[in-house]
Structure 1
Amino acid sequence: MSTPTPEVQEEWHRFRSARDAELVQEHGWLTLTSLQWLTEEHAALDHLPGLWSADGAEAALSAAAGDGITLAETGTPVDGTVTASLADEESLLWVYFGGSDGRRIGVELARRGGRCAVRTRDAASAVFTDFDGVPAFGYRSDLVVPGRYAAYPEPVEVPIRTAHPAVDGVHVTVGELMLQLPGAEQEYRLQVSAEGPGRLALTFHDATNNESTAGWRKVVFDAPEPGTSAVTVDFNRAVNYPSAFTAFGTCPMPVGSNIIGVPVEAGEKDPGTR
C-alpha cells in the first residue's frame, strides 16, 4: 500500500472537515428525533402541539397562537389552519416551535410512498449536541480504484427497500460501473445513479457492514469524459446515509445486486448513534 502524498492527505482532510461541518447544520440530520405518519383524521401527535392530518398530497395543521408554532419560511405565527402540498419524495421544513427563541424544534413535512409524515428536528438532540465528527478509516491509496462506466440508453427504475420498513423506494439506475478491488478475485458490476451534472453515485454493501461500518454506504464520483468510459472511484470518500445516525431516516438501500464481497476499509465507519 503506497503512502499518500502530503497534498493528497491534505485534500482528504479538507473533505472530512467539510463533511463534518455539513452534518452540524442547524436542524440537520443529526437532530431527527421522531417520525409520525399523518392520517385523514385531524388529530394530535406525540410531543407536538396542534392538530395534524393529510389527505393525499396535502397536509393540514391547526393551532392557536398560544401554541407557539411559526411558519419556517416567514416566521408568521400559526393561528388557525395552514396547509402544504408535496410531491412524492419531497420534504419541507414546515414550522418551528419550542425553546427560548421559538425555534428549537423544526417540524419537517415529508411525503414517502404516497403518504405524508412529519419528523421533528430538535436542536437539543444529544446526537447533535454531542457530535464531534464521523469516525473514519485512515486514508487508503489502494482504494482509489479505476473502473469503467457503461451508460444505459435510458434510466431504469429498480424497486428497492429503504431504512424504514413502511417505505418502499426506487433506484433510478443510469448505468453500470465495472471495477475490481484489492483482495477481490472477481470484477464487480454495480448499478449507479446520477448525482447532479457530471456526477454518479454508487450505493453499496460490503463485507464490513454491521461490524465496523453501517448497513450500507454511498460514494460519489465523476462521470467519464464524453466518448470515454474510464472513471476513478475513491472509496475514502464513502459516506453514511442519514439513517446511520438516526432511526427516523427513510434512506434508500442499495440495489440487491450492489454487494461488494470484500471489506472496503475506507471512508466512514458506523457512527454508533442510532
Structure 2
Amino acid sequence: MRLARLLTLSALSLATPALAAPPAKPKPPAMTAPAPTTPSSLEAETRAWHQKRLANLTSEEGWLSLVGLFWLQEGDNRLGSGEDNDFVFPAGTPARIGTLTRQGTQVTFTPAAGVSLTKGGQPFTGGAVGTGEGPADTLGLGALRFYLIPRGDKLGLRVKNPEAPARKQFHGIPTWPVDAAWRIEGRFEPSPTPKKLAVPTVLGTVEDMDSPGTLVFQVQGQEYRLDPVLESPTGPFFVIFGDQTNRDASYGAGRFLYVDPPKDGRVVLDFNRAYNPPCAFSPYATCPLPPAQNRLKLRVEAGEKRYGDH
C-alpha cells in the first residue's frame, strides 16, 4: 500500500533541531476524560505495546537494518563495492555485483560474472525484478537483502543488512512516563464526501492519501483537530502529527499514532503510544511528514522521545 511504502521509503535524511535541555515538567494538563481504565492496566498495556514495537524495529527486517538507498536512472545502473559503481555497496561485498537496467517502470538485473545471488530465496541468474517490496522480489547476496521501491515516478533500491551497526548498537528509545491524562477521548467528524489529504514527504514530494474525516479533542478546554489517513478501508486510522516538543524533546519531524475506528462517533487518542517514524533511526528511510493542519500548538509530553542525536 502506498503509505506502507512511504514508511519503508522507508532514503531520506532529515535535518532536525539540536537537542536542548527540556523545560521544567509542567503539571499534567486537564484533558477530556478517556474511556475507563486504571493506571496499572494502562501502564502494563502501554509497556507491552512498546516492547512489541521495539521487537519489530530491531528485527532482521526492521528499519535498523537499512544500510543503503539508491535511486535508479533510466538505463544501466551498476552496483558493487567498487567506487566507480553507480551504487556503491558496503565494504566486503564484491567490487562488481551486477547491473540494474531500467526502462520506464520495467527493471531487469544482470549479475556480474562469478556472483551468486538469490531472488525470493531461490538461485537467480538474472532477469526481471519486480517492485512489490515483498519476499518474492527481494534479491539476496550473503547477508544483504535489496529490493526496489517505487515512489511516485522514482524507483529506489533499498538495501538491508541484519549486521547493520544501527541494529547492533541500538540502545532503546526514551519515553515519557505513561500518563492516563494523555489518553484522551474525542469525537470523530466524518468527511461528507471522499477527501484526499496532501501529505508531504522527506523526499520533497506530496502524496495524496485517503482521509476519512477529522479527530477532534480538547486539552485544558482548548479544542484541537487532527486529520488521519487510511492504510486500509477497515483498519485503524493513521495520524501523522507534530507538536511543540519537536523543538527540543521529541523527533523534530513529528511522530505517528494509530487510532482505533470510532464507536458511536467517539475515538480515543492514546498519545502514550505516539512513536517515532523510521527516519528518526536511519537516513535511508522515506517518511511522510505532518500536514500543516496536523501541527499541534501544544506540547504532547507522552510517547516516544527523541532517539540519539536525531
TM-score by length of 2: 0.77
Aligned to 2:265: 229
For residues 173-216 of structure 1, give each alpha carbon's deviation from its aligned partner in whole angstroms, at most 9, with x where no partner exists.
2110111124xx63112211124425212210100114211111
Does the 8 A contact of 1:56 with 1:115 survive in 2?
no
1:1-274 matches, cutoff 5 A: 1=28, 5-44=39-78, 45-47=87-89, 49-64=97-112, 66-71=114-119, 73=120, 75-79=121-125, 81-86=126-131, 91-92=133-134, 94-97=138-141, 102=142, 104-165=143-204, 167-182=205-220, 186-196=222-232, 197-214=234-251, 215-225=253-263, 228-272=264-308
Considering only aligned residues, what root-mean-square deviation do their CA atoms show, in Å? 2.2
- Offset at 1:65? 6.1
For residues 57-102 of structure 1, give each alpha carbon's deviation from its aligned partner in whole angstroms, at most 9, with x where no partner exists.
222211046223211x2x22332x321333xxx53452111xxxx2
Could you list the runs of 5+ residues in structure 2 that have no partner in the other structure? 1-27, 31-36, 79-86, 90-95
Letter in 1 for 2:170: F
CA distance in 2, matches of 1:43, 1:246: 24
State how many pairs are aligned. 258
Instruction: Report 1 or 2 for greater relative contact order, CA contacts < 8 Å, sequence distance ≥ 6.
Output: 2
Does the 8 A contact of 1:27 with 1:106 survive in 2?
no
For residues 136-195 of structure 1, give each alpha carbon's deviation from its aligned partner in whole angstroms, at most 9, with x where no partner exists.
111111111111111113432233321223x4322322110111124xx63112211124
CA distance in 2, matches of 1:96, 1:256: 40
Structure (1 or 2) with the greater strand fraction: 1
Does the 8 A contact of 1:245 with 1:273 survive in 2?
no
- Offset at 1:33? 1.6
TM-score by length of 1: 0.86
Query: 3-state SS of the aligned residue for 2:226?
Result: strand
CA distance in 2, matches of 1:131, 1:4: 32
Letter in 2 for 1:78: F
Which has the larger displacement, 196-205 or 104-113? Answer: 196-205
For residues 8-48 of structure 1, give each alpha carbon's deviation from its aligned partner in whole angstroms, at most 9, with x where no partner exists.
21111111111111111113211112111112221212117
CA distance in 2, matches of 1:4, 1:158: 36
CA distance in 1, matches of 2:306, 2:198: 26
**Percent sequence identity over matched residues?**
29
For residues 120-150 of structure 1, give each alpha carbon's deviation from its aligned partner in whole angstroms, at most 9, with x where no partner exists.
1121211111113222111111111111111
Letter in 2 for 1:180: Q
Aligned to 2:13: none
Letter in 1 for 2:102: A
Post-superposition, which runs of at least 4 consecutive aligned residues in structure 1 deviate over 3 A? 1-4
Aligned to 2:92: none
Query: 3-state SS of the aligned residue for 1:208?
Result: helix
Pair 1:181–1:109, CA change in 2 (3 A):
same
